[in-house]
Amino acid sequence: MNLKTVLIVLFSLAFFSAFAQDKNQMLWYTKPAEKWTDALPIGNGRLGAMIFAGAENEHIQFNEETLWTDKPRDFNKTGAYQYLPQIRQLLAEGKQKEAEELAQKEFMGLKSETGDRAAWVNAMKAAKGMNGNAASASYDDKLWKTIPVPAYEGWETVGLKNLDGAVWFRTTFNVPENWSGKDLVLELNKIFDQDFTYINGKLLGNTEGAEPRKYSVSKNLIHKGINTIAIQVLNYYDRGGIGGYKDTSKKIGIYPAGSNVDAGISLVKDWKYKIQDQNPPAIGQYQASYQPFGDLNLQFSHRGKITNYKRSLDLATAVAKTNYTINGINYTREYFASQPNQAVIIHLTADKTGSISFNAALSSLHQNSSVKTLGNNTIALSVEVKDGILKGESRLTAIVKNGSVKVINNQFNIAKADEVTLYLTAGTNFIDAHHVSGKPETANINSIKSLQGKSFAQAKQDHINEYQSYYNTFKVDFGKSENENLPTDQRLEKFGSSNDPAFAALYMQYGRYLLISSSRPGTQPANLQGIWNDLLTPPWGSKYTTNINMEMNYWPTEILNLSAMNEPLFTKIKGVAKNGAETAKAYYNAKGWVLHHNTDLWNGTAPINASNHGIWVGGGGWLSQHLWEHYLFSKDQKFLKNEAYPLMKEAALFYTDFLVKDAKTGWLISTPSNSPENGGLVAGPTMDHQIIRSLFTNCIAAADVLNVDEAFKKSLQEKVKQIAPNQIGKYGQLQEWLEDKDDTTNKHRHVSHLWGVYPGNDITWDADSKMMNAAKQSLIYRGDEATGWSLAWKINFWARFKDGNHAMKMIKMLLKPARNGAGSYVNLFDAHPPFQIDGNFGGAAGIAEMIVQSHQGYIDILPALPTAIADGKVEGIKARGGFELDLSWEDGKLTALTVKSIVGGKCKVKYQGKEIEFNTKAGESYKMNGDLKLK
């Protein structure tokens, strides 16, 4: 053995022994969270909480996965299929606008119930709920409260968090003498949603919608001295109030006509306000929105200088912790969301007896909420969703060692305790998408029963054991870093300009942590924000967007050894397939099932929002890919036979009816549809054809494995050859549409026509390198800049293109501080912006794709390793064919590889021109060196 070999062996031994990952399994900070996206997330799949970790005032915002708006109902418009031929004909004739108008009118889904807006507006105009005329200059408003104006993100951000309805705003301005005899302009820009604006009691105007408000003010309305502005704002849904300008350097104000607001009087200040009514008519929604449940606030009585502050989240144990010192006493709080006991558990200790004193209060943003006392050590929060069917109950139980506990005004008052354990539980009346007759208190009762007789230490250990049964299946180490001793927020700041590959390893494990925390077996799948949401009207409803976002949530499951986390997704697919069969019949008069670009708790499957992006038929096909991938990774024929193939077959049956022959090309095409969410309603988008072709191919392979459906298999074999193929356009790009009309200057965040590169395998280097290069050219034209989840997708693309350094560039863009743009928030949540969790999951999967790929029929080792990750070790990464891998590399070169065969069978491995193929037995492991030589 030569010296070089000895050194390599010694390095490998040292590297393997130093696999603790401790510093790269911890998020930590030296100051409390200031906003929600600073807070640290915990979850057990059903319950989620965000820990702000203030030393003197602790805020814990929490969710329960089944609290949504709306109710079980019919989402489908009966007879919509009658308009399908006409829509198709208009698209064939190039009349896109007319097709979209007809589809918007006749082909969208049904909304939820809508209230009587006109009656409510008339009541508000008639001053219902007010004493006197609030528009009058002489109106007495001295008892009114004040609020900052404007608030571009809505009055919810400046104090009116849970409010939709009618609110009056009043302020005054003093007219300068040199304005005498001049007409004025009142510039307010955006008001959400409708306003009646008065000066000195006279109506200036009324506008509905978010159009800019710039009202002309006749000189006859203005007098010397103090003048009064009064605005009645009617807000129906989502953010409300006087929004002003998104660019806060632009003022709202009043000024002489012919000049501008900078020459006038600024109205950016505190205005007086009074809520007139909080019950506007219900607004019809196509689908439901995920809801926050409540807030737990702990107010501590200790005062003094805070030192040694640290808050942290240990990914290895799923335990968050807060530590600090006040007056020489060291305080510790631990928090975790227990799956075995279905509770968020908070444990408070100090190193001096009798030192823990605080008040604990439950509250909620929901208007219909209340708190009551249930005995000496439990308080309960009840909530009802507005304009919906769901209601919930949360309970807080306090277990106090020594000291005292009292309930005063439905709040805990805990004094001079040695230690305190809080159990936070929650449940709703949701049973499933068709039944809501459950009892919200049941989950609380069952949770507390399960905790009876358990010490905190035992509950914590049970939690860790259950969590680690998933988390410990995978390990990653990308070496040491000079930044690893920095707090996470500082590490994030420096990542783009420093060499810190270990931060990418942390990000992988954080993605796995978030998925385990938001998608345990038996729960709902992870939604657009996982399980964490603090808004009554969250972005995009925090639904399940199925033209990329829901699927991206589950990209890490197989390759990063979290296959069990797929169970909620597969259960969801069964639910949408059932509803999707009704939608297929109603809209396309077709067999099988279809899912458009969104679904929700109630499994809605009809087109929603707008016809230029909501009529997209790829959801069922894409979700079917996840079923097939699970089989490829697990080789579980029982799953394939009983679960996957029946759903895949029904999805394929829809497309066999849906596809039509294009008169110009003779190909089978998808119409109407779109290339999400780019280019409007079209015939023949490339992405659709990739998804459908892959589904047909997978069904053919599944039928062979199961030895079933020979006739069906042959019909698919004929059709798959007729589907419009991938095409290379005049710019050397992969065409996004049937026609060669790509715009190389278009930087749209969706790169949907590259689906066949990833997550599909419709385009590969081995099968068609020319098409692969065309796809790469498309991505080059589209550019690197993107929103958070789009950056994550591009990491996977560049990994499949085998350009590890470009993929690493995208990782650095994803992991940059989000300052009103894409990147990552302080707590490493992905910023679309705003927060969407898909980027976390897509990014973690993309880093894995740089290390191992297996979509071309063999295992490709280190196919896109960047120079920035020169040394590394991974254990437990999965490959198709039923294989689990451990590998290490040094200076960019493979040093060791172990392949464990889960089910047996042939294994083929490639690495940098080397290749090995061997037979395996189930449960056996096969070790190789860096030259793929079996040991």
pLDDT of residue 10: 39
CATH architecture of residue range(s) 117-277: Sandwich (2.60)
Asked if 726 contacts 752 with a C-beta cutoff of 8 angstroms, the reply is no
* CATH 2.70.98.50 fits domain 44-68+289-472: yes
Which tokens hold the place of 161?
Answer: 């968090």
Instruction: Give the span between the Cα atoms of 928 and 920, in whole angstroms.
Output: 14
pLDDT surpasses 90 at 162: no
pLDDT surpasses 70 at 23: no
Q: What is the mean pLDDT of residues 674-700?
A: 97
pLDDT surpasses 60 at 21: no
pLDDT of residue 384: 98
Q: How far is CA 792 from CA 447, 561, 727, 811, in A?
A: 38, 19, 25, 8
pLDDT of residue 66: 98
412 DSSP β-pair partners = 360, 407
pLDDT surpasses 50 at 14: no
pLDDT of residue 856: 98
pLDDT surpasses 90 at 1: no
Pairing type for strands 678-682 and 544-545 reads: unpaired
pLDDT of residue 22: 57
Contacts of 249 (CB under 8 A, 6+ apart): none
Q: What is the mean pLDDT of residues 656-662?
A: 98
How confident is the model over 571-605, as pLDDT tens digits?
Answer: 999 999 999 999 999 999 999 999 999 999 999 99
Q: How far is CA 610 from CA 425, 527, 679, in A?
A: 39, 21, 13
Higher pLDDT among residues 20 and 712, named by residue: 712
Q: Where are the domains of the chain?
A: 44-68+289-472, 117-277
pLDDT surpasses 60 at 355: yes
Which tokens hold the place of 559?
Answer: 């390759």
pLDDT surpasses 90 at 3: no
pLDDT of residue 33: 98
Q: How far apart are the first and last CA of the chain?
A: 16
pLDDT of residue 444: 98
Instruction: Give the span between the Cα atoms of 438 and 445, in whole angstroms.
Output: 13
How confident is the model over 875-885, as pLDDT tens digits?
Answer: 999 999 999 99
Residue 676 class from Cβ within 10 Å (0-12 exposed, 13-18 middle, 19+ buried)? buried
Q: How confident is the model at residue 9 (pLDDT cuts 50, 70, 90)?
A: very low
Are 44-68+289-472 and 117-277 the same fold in CATH? no
Q: How far is CA 812 from CA 503, 818, 820, 841, in A?
A: 10, 12, 17, 15
Asked if 893 contacts 839 with a C-beta cutoff of 8 angstroms, the reply is no
How confident is the model over 304-317, as pLDDT tens digits?
Answer: 999 999 999 999 99
Q: What is the mean pLDDT of residues 352-360?
A: 98
Alpha helices for 417-500 (secondary structure H): 441-451, 456-471, 488-495
Asked if 756 contacts 726 with a C-beta cutoff of 8 angstroms, the reply is yes
pLDDT surpasses 90 at 864: yes
Q: How confident is the model at residue 15 (pLDDT cuts 50, 70, 90)?
A: very low
Q: What is the mean pLDDT of residues 670-696?
A: 97
The 10 Å CB-count burial string (b at 16+, else e) for 842-860 is bbbbbbbbbbbbbbbebbb
Q: What is the mean pLDDT of residues 247-261?
A: 95
Asked if 302 contacts 357 with a C-beta cutoff of 8 angstroms, the reply is yes
How confident is the model over 748-792, as pLDDT tens digits?
Answer: 899 999 999 999 999 999 999 999 999 999 999 999 999 999 999
pLDDT of residue 154: 93
Q: What is the mean pLDDT of residues 10-22?
A: 42
pLDDT of residue 2: 45
Task: Tell me how far the alpha carbon of residue 168 is from its chain's centroid.
Answer: 35
pLDDT surpasses 50 at 342: yes
pLDDT surpasses 50 at 8: no
Percent of the chain beyond pLDDT 70?
Answer: 98
How confident is the model over 497-529, as pLDDT tens digits?
Answer: 999 999 999 999 999 999 999 999 999 999 999
Q: How confident is the model at residue 303 (pLDDT cuts 50, 70, 90)?
A: confident
Asked if 513 contacts 316 with a C-beta cutoff of 8 angstroms, the reply is no
Asked if 253 contacts 265 with a C-beta cutoff of 8 angstroms, the reply is yes
Q: What is the mean pLDDT of residues 199-206?
A: 96
How confident is the model over 140-156, as pLDDT tens digits?
Answer: 999 999 999 999 989 98
Instruction: Give the span between the Cα atoms of 381 and 704, in whole angstroms.
Output: 55
Mean pLDDT for the chain overall:
95
